[in-house]
Structure 1
Amino acid sequence: MASGRFTTSAARPKSANTCPGCVPGQAIWGFGLTEPTAGSDAGGSKTTAMRDGSHWVINGSKIFITNAASEMTLGVTVQAVTGSRPNGKPEYTCFIVENGTRGFKAVPMKKKMMWRASNTAELYFDDVRVPAENILGRPGDGFHQMLKTLDGGRLSIAAMGLGGAQGAYDAALSYARKREQFGQPISKFQAVAFKLADSAMEIECGRNLLYKACWLRDQKRSFEKEAAMAKLYCSELMGRVANHAVQIHGGYGLMKEYNVERFYRDQKLLDIGEGTSEVQRIVISRYIGC
């Protein structure tokens, strides 16, 4: 391996989720798919890898890559174009690139609207040479590997949306019970009570949808459609509930002293990460036969 940290094939990470130290939380790993001109169109990647003897030479860039430029980051798994298939479409292959490899640079991205504690990076590959053994799986498997990873990642985004919705709801309910206007808690006013009732109902619906998708995966059954549904519903659910929570807080909901302001900002990433809401609707429509 390029930097010598992974000295045997057994120790080398088989995926971004099984790198040495990642499971116990001692290290993290980047998932290099998105590019400046290839976001929702994951098949539009321009990063290339050319075979040169016993090595591959990678050139290109990635953007909005989570966990890729932290002090704990060991490296990234990167998708690159490695040729063309018989039908003329690009062939994609995933490579393991360790930090410290010559020509590889990870630059942290700052000034984000939300998730400021989450490490996000731009990646640059300038004639980055990696051994042929650094291919993840087999040549040409890259696109399938990335899409499969996204299917699982959608469950994580859905869980974030569900948890965020629950947090915003809990904060709004607590505030509404304590805040008094016109001589009574604002939770007694129908306009506020109905927002809370709708939120409670939708959170329960989202929880059941997500749990079903996770159960299907645990049972090793097809879960891709349900994962897309859960991701779409729970991410947008948090937006609706956070919006209600800010409204219920009134002017205080706009102040950083109250958590609902952060819930409101943090939610927006969930509509975009692991495939936008629009992409999820495309995925679902294909699974139902449209």
Structure 2
Amino acid sequence: MAPPAKTFTREEVRNHTSDDSLWCIIDSTVYDLTEFVDAHPGGESVLKQIAGQDATSAFYNLHRHEVLSRYADLAIGTVQGEKPEVITPQPGDLSPVPYAEPLWLTPHFKSPYFKESHHKLRHAVRVFTEEVIKPEALECEATGRYISQEVIDKMSQAGILHMRLGPGKHLHGVNMLNGAVKGEEFDYFHDLVACQEMCRPMMRGFQDGNMAGMTIGLTAVLNFAKDQAWKTKIANEVFSGKKKLCLAITEAFAGSDVAGLRTTAEKTPDGKHYIVNGTKKWITNGVFCDYFVVGVRTGKALSVLLIERGPGVETKPIKTSYSPAAGTAYITFDNVKVPVENLLGEENKGIHVILSNFNHERWVMACGSLAAQRFIVEECLKWSNQRIVFGKRLIDQPVIRQKLAKMIALVESNQAWLETITYQMCNMPYKQQAQHLAGPIGLLKMSITRGAHEIADESVQIWGGRGLTQSGMGKYIEHFNRTYKFDAILGGAEEILGDLGVRQAVKNFPKAML
């Protein structure tokens, strides 16, 4: 909101330094703080120190720019003949900060991968994220409340729930963000754009709480359910947001070691049902879901069942490093009766169902982690240019520039690798992706989460005590440092994925080179 049209000279502002009339200037806008002195969170003495003065440097040394929007009613005018120098971004705007955006979004850089539809989708998703998702994310992360049905309905109506699963026939004919992209032309670069844009609120618990279970679980239904009418019913319920679905594979006994699952499914004597017994742990969205895509042991092999919440199904929340908004659950199946028609894929061949979506799941996590890292780099660049220490900006210190150089290099190199892998996904049929990309995607995710470790560490050093504080200027730094490890564990631990990548490479090692 623009300040009032009234103007003042700097001399006029300097005359307002008393308890009865205390003014200051921040970036050419004049603020009357008289009634705010007692309510100022930092105490009245801080405001009295800048009474009648230009407090721009002092303000930005302590606060984020968006703080001003909360106190717009204190603005009474502007300094005569002066204009603001600090940019107030509008919904959908690109950041002008160097390296705050991928190179394909910056002036003077070209990319062979991204077309006009990718730019249109980027803008549309960013506006939707800033106006609809971010306010919800901030509140849910702080309170632990699960995502509201209202926001889920808005995402469904905008086609966002559909696009979260990546390219496919489920997108054909879907109106996505008022025609930003057609479902028939939606490719993995559109998927990359949507994924990275939706991570921008930087609330990691809510990010997983925002239907992540559907993203990694519904594909099993779409690809492996045998009865077309039943599959359509489940898909429609979930895409409409009326029902929630999650993937329930991990157990206390088996994480990355999927073959070690102990949950059992035994057929009834009449062969019409399975009786499921066992537990699942760390299941994202499990607390509030209606459907569970469950890995079970049928005899000596694995199968996958869709289980509906009902008698014998109990979910309990698990406290983790991020917000309860994720709905992380411990699930107990106690003699749960499941129709045999709910089998996904073939009995005793469930490992193929489980593995089928790992590439996309890991790729999505790589996209999200890298987007968060880029956001942290932007925060560090902005802070380094505004924070004054020992009479100089942080950016004027060589040691800080070296840290920033390391962070930028990690983000840009991994983004380039991510785009290369994405290009292969766009040009390989699914069978070839499963054969050739599991290893490279595993190595990519490992590289990105290792980069997150370095960036989290360096960012806290740059921000100091603020990087350890859950509110205020450094809140995103603290949050990232506390939650970045989720991407290093979920979807396959770094060590497992690194080993997978090397084993796949060695499998094709030419004997002639021995």
Superposition TM-score tier, normalisation by shorter sequence: 0.7 to 0.9
Cα deviation for residue 106 of structure 1 reads: 1.8
Question: What is residue 489 of structure 2 aligned with on the other side?
Answer: 272
- What is the DSSP-based 3-state SS (H/G/I as helix, E as strand, rest coil) of the residue aligned with 1:289? helix
CA distance in 2, matches of 1:29, 1:119: 12
Instruction: Please identify the structure whose Cα radius of gyration is greater.
Output: 2
Q: State the 1:24 CA deviation.
A: 4.8
Q: What's the CA shift string for 1:22-72, capped at 9, x where partnerless? A: 3354543111110111112111001111111211111111000111221xx
Contact residue 306 and residue 343 of structure 2 kept, 8 A = yes
What is aligned with 1:109?
318
- Say if 2:423 is the partner of 1:215: yes
Contact 2:274 2:338 in 1 (8 A): yes
Pick one of 201, 223, 228 that aligns with 2:442: 228
Q: Is 1:68 the counterpart of 2:286 in the alignment?
A: yes
Contact 1:161 / 1:236 at 8 angstroms: preserved in 2? no
Cα pair 2:376 2:459 within 8 Å, conserved? yes
Q: What is residue 252 of structure 1 aligned with on the other side?
A: 466
| In structure 1, C-alpha distance between the alignment counterparts of 2:298 and 2:364, rounded to whole Å | 30
Structure 2: distance between partners of 1:284 and 1:24: 37
- Contact preservation (8 Å) 1:115, 1:266: no
More helix by share: 2
Distance in 2, matches of 1:162 and 1:24, equals: 29
Structure 1 residue 11: deviation in Å?
A: 4.4
Please list every run of 5 or more consecutive structure 2 residues that lacks an aligned counterpart in the other structure: 1-225, 508-514
Residue number in structure 2 paired with 1:175: 383
Aligned to 2:74: none
Q: Distance in 1 between matches of 2:250 and 2:343?
A: 19
Give the 3 Å change call, closer, same or farther, for CA 200–58 of structure 1 in structure 2. Answer: same
Find the aligned partners of 1:11 and 1:199 in 2 and give their Cα distance: 50
Question: Which SS does the other structure have where 2:290 is aligned?
Answer: strand
- Number of the residue aligned with 1:82: 298
Is the aligned partner of 1:96 residue 2:306?
Answer: yes
Answer yes or no: is 1:146 the counterpart of 2:362.
no
Task: Please state which structure has a larger fraction of its residues in strand.
Answer: 1
Instruction: Check the 8 A contact 2:297/2:303 in 1, yes or no.
Output: yes
Match of 2:265 among 49, 63, 84: 49
Corresponding residue to 2:235 among 10, 16, 19: 19
Change (3 A) 1:243 1:23: farther
Please report the TM-score for the alignment, with normalisation by the length of structure 2: 0.51
Distance 2:459 2:237 in 1: 39
State the match for 2:91 in structure 1: none
Deviations 1:185-233 (A, max 9, x none): 1111111001111111110111112222222222224221221122111
Q: Percent identity?
A: 26
**In structure 2, what is the Cα distance between the partners aligned to 1:77 and 1:226?**
27
Partner of 1:185: 393
Q: 2:276 aligns with which of 58, 64, 75?
A: 58
Query: How far apart in 1 are the matches of 2:480 and 2:383?
Result: 15
Q: Does 2:332 correspond to 1:124?
A: yes
Q: 1:281 aligns with which of 498, 506, 513?
A: 498
Q: Give the 3-state SS of the residue equivalent to 2:265 in structure 1.
A: strand
Report how far residue 115 of structure 1 moved. Answer: 4.3
Whichever residue aligns with residue 153 of structure 1, its letter is: E
Deviation at 1:74, TM superposition (A): 2.1
Q: 1:43 corresponds to which letter in structure 2? A: A
The aligned residue for residue 35 of structure 1 is 251
Structure 1: give runs of 5+ residues left out of the alignment: 1-7, 85-90
| Amino acid of the structure 2 residue aligned with 1:106 | T
With over 3 angstroms needed to count, the CA separation of the structure-2 counterparts of 1:182 and 1:68, relative to structure 1, is: same
Q: What residue identity is the alignment partner of 1:48?
A: T
Give, in whole Å, the separation in 2 of the partners of 1:13 and 1:276.
32
Contact 1:225 / 1:283 at 8 angstroms: preserved in 2? yes
Distance 2:415 2:242 in 1: 31
Q: Distance in 2 between matches of 1:44 and 1:9?
A: 29
Report the CA distance between 1:148 and its aligned residue: 2.0
Contact 1:172 1:248 survives alignment (8 Å):
yes
Cα offset, 1:157, TM superposition: 1.2
- Asked if residue 242 in structure 1 is aligned to residue 456 in structure 2, the reply is yes
Equivalent residues in 2 for 1:190-209, closer than 5 Å: 190-209=398-417
Q: What is the SS of the residue equivalent to 1:240?
A: helix
Deviations 1:93-128 (A, max 9, x none): 00000112x211122223x21244211111111111
* Equivalent position to 2:364, from 136, 153, 156: 156
Q: Secondary structure at the match of 2:291?
A: strand
CA distance in 1, matches of 2:375, 2:231: 35
Structure 1 runs, 4 residues or longer, greater than 4 Å off: none
Asked whether the 8 Å contact 1:66–1:121 carries over to 2, the reply is: yes
Query: How far off is 1:13 after superposition?
Result: 4.0
Q: TM-score, normalised by structure 1?
A: 0.88
Q: Tell me if structure 1 keeps the 8 A contact 2:439–2:497.
A: no
